[in-house]
């Protein structure tokens, strides 16, 4: 068996590689030493895998691997020969493994990885932001007003003037300062497509590559973010990585749930990264303000790049340090799923040892984690206890691994990641202040992989095993139920059980934090070896509604909203305001106050006293906007809007949708009353039998009055 260092980081120890670019038969490596970047060239041999000898392409050289599965490694003299062979295999429907990225192929087969021996701050990162007349680059008048740049070496620049001159200066600065990474917020969706379109119009080559080449755009793909994906079209710059912090912050926020919107200003505010005296300018006012007060627009743009730099420093280190392990570029690592990362690490080791790569097991349903709500309403004095890395702990303690994993690298890799994470986590807490960011980023990268080993088993990867995944979930369900039973036996009242944790109301005997921790430790002592139960949070109150839908109120007053029932990005602002105020009132046991709030909001809607900003909602334009039958109304007003952009819309009284700019006191008030009632219904569990009395359905009353009026007209 290989040592875990080799498994996790690859066999090649070359350090300080900041970029790799593979071509026809050669790879170029860019290596940073302090402020100098040198270039090295190495041979590149493209390759693919097939399972049967009769499928080996004639143009390639075959090496037979030991074991079952994809046991024929085919290498090619150049990229063109590989592409021709791969296309032929595809055309014939031949089962094979072939990576479309030459850089990934090179890194995987050589055992090299990027950034070894470097910290996140060692790498030269440049941030960019542009201010424009409009959101579309096509109209000739929609010029670039400003290009603003900064980097983590203290550089800042604001470029203004003639558009062609700005673009040429932008290229010159990038080439001169030579950053390894280009960062921006929504650069894939806006900045680089806009820059490219305007550069073509001006006849200025965007030659940002380290080899003097122009930037290029890849094919559309998806960036996995938790349980969903975001479509995007990547921008590629030779020798540099392009990082979109809008995607990075969403991936960062999956476990934390702090953010409702992912615009730069909102993220900076919530995460405490905003510039002092931050300037805010609505997007549709920038062009007008530029004509009258350009200095304010410049300050606004300067604040944008500074906040982008801070945001990247917070959310990007885990993916950066993952790139030291995963055989891929930083840019791709930051936009691909964790299962693929584990798959690449395993395949790299199997090929290094000359072993065949397994074929995936057929996919099938795997039982999920156990969830249950046992108490609803506003509950005081709440503790959350959590099994630390439940599924990885079960895999290690019970030696559960894929049946096809013959080299026995899966569990050792998981065990070593766990050990390294605990060590890095400890140093992040107790080490020198100057080193804490490094250790925290490192432990975050280990955590991402650790938490994905279970998901890997049930997904369609080479060494998957749905049967092993089922063993883990079944064992996890038994453990979390045991925890809940033990808590009840010790006098606590279980509120919610969710996969690996339990929220409970503490008994009177555990009225302090120390007593809470002692109770959790006592419960944990009854668990199997290798399963560690921790005190994971304490709260003054919890508004429990349904599974995975609740509000936590800390002893410091901070509120955490979890689940679409209490907060959703699709909610209208007046609904968010209602629920937020209702939580405050419920915290004071003022149920009738919530009813008065509801009646007041109802009266405002009926009399047209809500501002359009309170009931208009922001919606993202996606390909489905124009293809889905359910989106016909949205498609009708989104013509000419680019996919990926946002529109703010409301419903007119005739049922049609309209843009906020078209508002003419014509909102559908019945629709808004129905929405208000639905917002109140989300809190129904907090009111029990009183709900119908406290929150009458307004549209039922309207229809009753309409029917009564119609009856009176008939009589006359």
Cβ contacts of 380 within 8 Å, gap of 6 or more: 505, 540, 541
pLDDT digits (tens, 9 = 90+) for 656-707: 999 998 999 999 999 999 999 999 999 999 999 999 999 999 877 555 554 4
| Interatomic CA distance for residues 574 and 598, integer angstroms | 11
CA torsion angle 347 353 359 364 (round to 10) = -60
DSSP assignment letter at 187: I
Report for 56-60, 328-332, 695-699: range of highest mean pLDDT? 328-332
The pLDDT value recorded for residue 254 is 83
Spatial contact of 162 and 173, defined as CB atoms under 8 Å apart: no
b/e code 425-449 from CB counts within 10 Å (16+ = b): bebbeeeeeeeebbbbbbbbbbbbb
pTM of the model: 0.86
The pLDDT value recorded for residue 704 is 52
> What domains are defined for the chain?
4-115 (no CATH), 120-317 (3.30.420.10), 364-401+465-569 (3.90.1600.10), 606-715 (no CATH)
CA-nearest of 330, 324, 345, 338 to 438 is: 324
Q: Is 543 in a helix, a strand, or coil?
A: strand
> Which helix (H) or strand (E) segment is 577 a member of?
helix 573-587
What tokens were used for 643?
């996919």
pLDDT digits (tens, 9 = 90+) for 102-119: 999 999 999 999 999 999
Count Cβ atoms below 10 Å from residue 176 Cβ, excluding itself: 7
Q: Is 346 in a helix, a strand, or coil?
A: helix
- Cα angle at 30 between 29 and 35, to 5 degrees? 160
Helix axes 338-352, 410-430, angle to 10 degrees: 120
Q: Is 314 in a helix, a strand, or coil?
A: helix
Q: Name 618's bridge partners.
A: 648
Show the 3-state SS of 409-478: CHHHHHHHHHHHHHHHHHHHHHCCHHHHHHHHHHHHHHHHHHCCHHHHHHCCCCCCCHHHHHHHHHHHHH
Spatial contact of 285 and 296, defined as CB atoms under 8 Å apart: no
Q: pLDDT confidence of 258, banded at 50, 70, 90?
A: confident
Q: pLDDT confidence of 261, banded at 50, 70, 90?
A: confident
Q: If you average pLDDT over every residue of the chain, what do you get?
A: 92
Cβ contacts of 37 within 8 Å, gap of 6 or more: 18, 30, 31, 178, 180, 210
What tokens were used for 294?
């350009």
Residue indicated by tokens 């990641």: 417
| Interatomic CA distance for residues 289 and 194, integer angstroms | 21
Q: pLDDT confidence of 190, banded at 50, 70, 90?
A: very high
Spatial contact of 385 and 501, defined as CB atoms under 8 Å apart: yes
pLDDT digits (tens, 9 = 90+) for 339-393: 999 999 999 999 999 999 999 999 888 888 999 999 999 999 999 999 999 999 9
**Given a cut of 60, is residue 36 above it in pLDDT?**
yes
Show the 3-state SS of 232-285: ECCEEECCEEEEEHHHHHHHHHCCCCCCCCCCHHHHHHHCCCCCCCCCCCCHHH
Q: Name 355's bridge partners.
A: 66
**Given a cut of 60, is residue 551 above it in pLDDT?**
yes
């Amino acid at each position: 068996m290989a040592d875990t260092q080799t498994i996790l980081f690859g066999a090649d120890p070359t350090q300080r590689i900041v970029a790799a670019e593979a071509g026809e038969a050669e790879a170029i490596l860019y290596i940073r030493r302090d402020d100098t970047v040198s270039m090295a060239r190495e041979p590149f041999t493209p390759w693919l895998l097939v399972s049967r000898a009769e499928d080996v392409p004639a143009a390639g050289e075959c090496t037979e691997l030991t074991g079952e599965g994809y046991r024929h490694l085919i290498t090619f003299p150049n990229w063109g020969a590989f592409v021709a062979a791969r296309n032929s295999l595809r055309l014939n429907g031949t089962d094979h493994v072939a990576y479309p990225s030459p850089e990934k192929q090179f890194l995987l087969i050589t055992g090299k990885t990027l950034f070894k021996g470097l910290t996140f701050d060692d790498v030269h990162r440049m941030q960019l932001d542009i201010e424009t007349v409009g959101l579309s680059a096509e109209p000739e008048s929609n010029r670039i007003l400003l290009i603003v740049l900064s980097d983590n070496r203290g550089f800042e620049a604001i470029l203004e003037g003639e558009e062609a001159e700005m673009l040429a200066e932008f290229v010159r600065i990038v080439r001169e300062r030579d950053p390894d990474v280009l960062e921006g917020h929504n650069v894939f969706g806006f900045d680089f497509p806009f820059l490219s379109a305007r550069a073509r119009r001006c006849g200025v080559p965007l030659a940002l590559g380290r080899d003097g080449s122009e930037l290029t755009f890849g094919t559309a793909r998806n960036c996995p973010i938790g349980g969903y994906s975001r479509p995007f079209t990547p921008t590629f710059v030779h020798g540099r990585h392009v990082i979109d912090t809008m995607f990075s912050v969403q991936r960062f926020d999956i476990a934390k749930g702090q953010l409702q919107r992912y615009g730069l200003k909102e993220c900076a505010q919530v995460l405490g990264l905003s510039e002092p005296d931050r300037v805010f300018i609505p997007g549709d006012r920038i062009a007008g303000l530029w004509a009258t007060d350009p200095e304010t627009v410049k300050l606004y743009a300067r604040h944008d790049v500074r906040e982008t730099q801070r945001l990247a420093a917070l959310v990007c280190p885990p993916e950066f340090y993952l790139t030291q392990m995963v055989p891929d570029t930083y840019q791709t690592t930051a936009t691909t799923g964790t299962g693929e990362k584990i798959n690449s690490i395993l395949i790299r080791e199997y090929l290094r040892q000359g072993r065949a790569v397994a074929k995936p097991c057929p996919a099938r349903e795997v039982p999920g984690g156990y969830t249950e709500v046992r108490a609803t309403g506003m509950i005081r004095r709440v503790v959350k206890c959590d099994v630390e890395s439940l599924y990885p702990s079960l895999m290690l303690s019970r030696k559960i691994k894929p049946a096809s994993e013959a080299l026995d690298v899966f569990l050792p890799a998981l065990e070593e990641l766990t050990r390294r994470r605990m060590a890095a986590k400890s140093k992040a807490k107790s080490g020198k202040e100057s080193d804490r960011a490094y250790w925290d980023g490192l432990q975050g990268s280990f955590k991402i992989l650790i938490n994905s080993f279970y998901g890997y088993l049930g997904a369609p990867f080479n060494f998957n095993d749905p049967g092993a995944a089922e063993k883990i979930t079944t064992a996890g369900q038994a453990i979390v139920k045991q925890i809940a039973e033990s808590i009840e036996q010790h006098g606590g009242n279980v509120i919610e059980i969710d996969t690996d944790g339990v929220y409970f109301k503490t008994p009177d005997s555990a009225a302090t934090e120390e007593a809470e921790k002692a109770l959790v430790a006592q419960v944990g002592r009854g668990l199997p070896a290798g399963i560690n139960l921790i005190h994971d949070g304490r709260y003054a109150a919890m508004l429990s509604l349904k599974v995975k839908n609740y509000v936590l109120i800390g002893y410091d007053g901070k509120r955490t909203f979890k689940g679409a029932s209490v907060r959703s990005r699709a909610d209208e602002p007046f609904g968010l305001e209602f629920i937020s105020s209702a939580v405050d009132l419920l915290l004071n046991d003022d149920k009738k106050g919530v009813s008065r709030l509801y009646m007041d909001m109802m009266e405002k809607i009926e009399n047209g006293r809500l501002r359009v900003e309170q009931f208009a909602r922001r919606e993202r334009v996606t390909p489905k906007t124009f293809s889905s039958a359910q989106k016909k109304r949205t498609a009708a007003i989104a013509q000419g809007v680019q996919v990926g952009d946002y529109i703010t819309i409301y419903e007119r009284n005739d049922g049609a949708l309209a843009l906020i700019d078209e508002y003419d006191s014509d909102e559908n008030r019945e629709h808004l009353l129905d929405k208000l009632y639905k917002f109140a219904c989300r809190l129904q569990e907090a009111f029990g039998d009183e709900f119908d009395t406290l929150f009458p359905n307004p549209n039922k009353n309207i229809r009753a009055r309409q029917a009564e009026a119609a009856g009176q007209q008939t009589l006359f």
